[in-house]
Structures are given as C-alpha cells and as structure tokens.
Amino acid sequence: MQAKTAVLLGATGLIGNHLLQLLLQDDHYSIIRTLVRKPLPVIHPKLEVQLTDFNDLHDFNAAMGSGDDIFCCIGTTIKKVNGDKALYHQIDVDIPVHAAQFGIDKGFSQYLVVSAIGANAKASNFYLRLKGNMEDSIHALPYPAIHIFRPSLLLGNREEVRKGERITQSVMPALSFLLAGSLKKYRAIDAAEVAKAMLAAAQSGKAGVNIYEYTQIKMLSAQ
C-alpha cells in the first residue's frame, strides 16, 4: 500500500502537538504537511512546514498542496482573541471550513476535525454555536469520510498558562464518576487520547459522517 500524505492544521496546540508526533511515527504516511503561522521547532524527514497566512485565501489554498487526509485541530479561546468574536469566528470556523473546501478541490478523501461536546448551530452559547456552524458547513461537503471529534475539557500541559483551566483539570478527573449515563460525554479526556483516536479513525476505513464523543474517543484511542 502506497504511503499517504497528511495535512495538519493546529500542530502547535494541545491535541495537534500529540497528533504531529503520532503522524511522523506512522508508516501509513510518507509526508506530513503542517500549515502554521510560525516556524515549528521540529525537524523530521517526513515533515513539510508551510508558513501560511490564513487570511490570504490564495496563500492558504496553495499551502494545502495535494494529499489524502486532512487533520484539523485548530482553535482558540475568547481570552486569546481579547474578546473579539469576529476573530474567534475566523479561527474556529473560517479556517477549518476553508481547509475542508480546499481539500475537496484538491482531491483529499478524508477530513478529521476537533469540535466540542454540545456543538450546535442553534445553541445560545457563542462557543457551541461556532462549533455547530463549523460542523454543519463541513457536513455539506462531499468527502468520502468525515470524522468529527467532540471532547469536553481537555487534559494535558499547554504552553500557555490558563489558571482557571488548570484548577478545573485538577478537579474534574476526581469527579468523573459523577458523570455517568447520558452525562458521561462531559467527562474530561486527555488530549493525547484524542490525538490517538483521530489517527485510528483515519485508518478505520469508515465512510460517511462519523461523530465521536467521550466513549467513542476512548475506544478508538485504545486500539
């Protein structure tokens, strides 16, 4: 079987960093192309780093190149964009959707994206509405396979300090037993497990639109 080319967006994030390392080690892929705003401190013979201006759609499209699987882990927080909801939308909706649209034109066969638990385009919560709009736009594209991952709170060490999130991270694992039945999907999950699940889904051969929440992510990550 010929090794494939993967495109990764969000390689510097909590999930993306784990996923990059997994992709570089995986023999199914011969090229890992990352689209980033700043140079990556990683050197590997399989790695192609494309410095990309995501606001310039011509540059963005050209940076995508050709390939097989697109992994999108890009996202931000309202704090990081200083409360700018338009910028938040640009990062969490426009970039993933444009990447998916470009991928169709370039013949990619799979699109895998990180969303959020509770994503719904009709939600009253701004963040969940963003993620819902992103999901709906990608659903409409004719990929043979789409994989959407909806984690709740992510566990792991980020480069930037988020004090409130660190407190929550320390408390949530101990309270997970309270989240049972229909509430189980709200359990915190390690970012490394989400990354493993994304790679497993890409190699599963499942067609159509597939949505993964806590239980499904845990099962995939254990494969």
Structure tokens at 38: 């700043």
Amino acid at 76: T
Structure tokens at 29: 């892929």
CA pair distance 97, 72, nearest whole angstrom: 10
Give the total number of structural domains in the chain: 1
CA pair distance 36, 65, nearest whole angstrom: 14
Average pLDDT, the chain: 91
pLDDT band at 184 (very low <50, low <70, confident <90, very high): confident
- Which neighbouring-strand residues pair with 157? none
CATH number at residue 82: 3.40.50.720
Residue 114 in contact with residue 149, Cβ under 8 Å?
yes
CA pair distance 111, 101, nearest whole angstrom: 10
Full domain range(s) for residue 154? 4-221
Does the pTM exceed 0.85? Answer: yes
CA pair distance 8, 113, nearest whole angstrom: 10
Residue 193 in contact with residue 218, Cβ under 8 Å?
yes
> Which of these ranges, 32-36, 76-80, 165-169, 203-207, has the smallest mean pLDDT?
165-169
Residue 149 in contact with residue 185, Cβ under 8 Å?
no
Residue 211 in contact with residue 220, Cβ under 8 Å?
no
- Which neighbouring-strand residues pair with 20? none
Reported as a single tens digit per residue, the pLDDT across 38-92 is 999 999 999 999 999 999 999 999 999 999 999 999 999 889 999 999 999 999 9
Classify burial at 209, counting beta carbons within 10 Å of its beta carbon; exposed 0-12, middle 13-18, buried 19 or more.
Answer: middle
Single out the residue of 100, 49, 94, 98 nearest to residue 76, CA to CA. 94
What does the pLDDT average to over 141-162?
85
